[in-house]
A and B are shown apart, each in its own frame.
Chain A
């Protein structure tokens, strides 16, 4: 991932400002899509902060997202805690969990890392379900708030904006440069003096923090939290596909993957509900055969060609 430019930051600011008007122009179905877009933009962008430069594909997004939803659900229904305090707590727990996973997986690379993160996320899901069913609530996890879809949309927009800003700062920092070097050759990274373990854990932790925050913000939308559902591994795959479809070369990549994917997914899901999973497969094929560097790669290719002429 290349260092982001000041121009990109200005464009991002303009886009965030424009996006803030969406709830005024839409409702119901389209506002719902807007919430989905913001949710996945925040998740895929934060996933990219770590996986973009390092090429470590993490399938643990659902674990962090689920922690956010579960902490809000459990805190609000079992302990009468406020939404905001649980939002803060879930960010902390998501961060700690990610740091632990990061430390445990440091020595793994390639496909081992992918499988390990997926397995770990599944383990956490089962563990939380088990604890919930046997020790905590018999009453179920209710998240009853005054928030409307528009409120959730704005909260997610702010979160996505923060992820982008953090990514922008990191991409221009020593840490961001270190991650690109790690992505190129970890042995070289260590031999030029980079503490590769530290760099990877820091970035993975930010992914965990934001995953949990997004999970916490979206919890009120469901009103009733079912652990098995908020930890669903499908979310992890969605995040990866959208990020790769957009392209990992630029910080703004995920957003151009999220929007088309969600529009197609929703259209197929409402017209051919039994075929929706097919979209995932087709998206994978499209990425592998036609868009190995995502839409971003294609856009930059066209731009370079236009400049060359």
Chain B
């Protein structure tokens, strides 16, 4: 069964914020080398789901495991060292540090723990991969939005994550930038990485994701191949509202 080979497994996860149920009884698996999209309307709990996987907060109920090891009660730094890397919906760079140092931050404390020359060289190679090596000594305040996103992605890749979580990495890009961005993620996919991406850009979902999980009001309403899911009546209704369906 696929479940047995799952790298990331989410089981009956619920998250309550006071009276608000942000995520309700979510379950899904991600297999090795698979690229899974999480889609759903605004406020449907996608970021909350990502936050629970990366350890920002513990789920109210349920289990998340990485290669069979329970991670849902671990702190973010433990989960990061176990091999989960993420980007943030609103880019988070380290303002006082150079571009290179921002990326080194990802390389130094991960499961490989590089340091000194080795960390620097590795950070350069990752920056090169996202097309940012020429800017490695620039202060991050001088970067354009897509460049900030690329640096953040490079920092995450520098930790050599086994599972990569991208929270709306393509949001806020203009059409040309979007093309560059999609191509970049395409390359990651071709490297055989295991990726979970939250995304609103449907073109990107169609061309990048093998599978999609759809959330609405915190619950899973569909899970399957991208084509199947995007033509599902419930999914269309959730996105467009009841009247249009």
Contacts and interface: CB of A to CB of B under 8 A. Distances in A.
Interface of A: 174, 177-178, 180-181, 183-185, 187-196
Given A174-B115, A178-B109, A191 B97 contact: no
B96 A184 contact: yes
**What secondary structure prevails in chain A residues at the interface with B?**
helix
Interface in B64-121: 75-77, 80-81, 85-86, 88, 92-97, 101, 104-106, 108-111, 115
A190 B94 CA distance: 13
Contact of A191 (B86, B95, B101, B111): B86
B56 interface: yes
A249 to B, nearest CB: 9
Given A181-B97, A184-B97, A185-B92, 7 more contacts: A174-B109, A180-B97, A183-B96, A188-B92, A188-B105, A190-B75, A190-B77
B105 A190 contact: no
Contacts of A187: 56, 76, 88, 92
Contact of B108 (A174, A183, A195): A174
B63 interface: no
Contacts of A188: 92-94, 105
A193 B94 contact: no
Nearest to B110: A193
Nearest to A1: B96
A194 B108 CA distance: 9
Contact of B77 (A174, A177, A180, A193): A193
B94 A185 contact: yes
B54 interface: yes
B29 to A, nearest CB: 23
A192 B92 contact: no
B211 interface: no
A294 B111 CA distance: 38
A195 B54 CA distance: 15
B149 to A, nearest CB: 14
Given A177-B105, A177-B108, A192 B97 contact: no
Interface in B130-188: 155, 159
A191 B86 CA distance: 8
B187 to A, nearest CB: 22
Contacts of A180: 94, 96-97, 101
Contacts of A181: 94, 97, 105
Given A174-B115, A187-B56, A192 B95 contact: no
Nearest to A188: B92
Contacts of A184: 94-97
Which 3 pairs, one residue from A and one from B, show the smallest C-beta to C-beta distance?
A184-B94, A193-B109, A190-B76
Contacts of A174: 108-109, 115
Given A181-B94, A187-B56, A187-B92, A192 B110 contact: yes
Nearest to A173: B115
A184 B97 CA distance: 8
A136 B54 CA distance: 53
B158 to A, nearest CB: 8
B109 A192 contact: yes
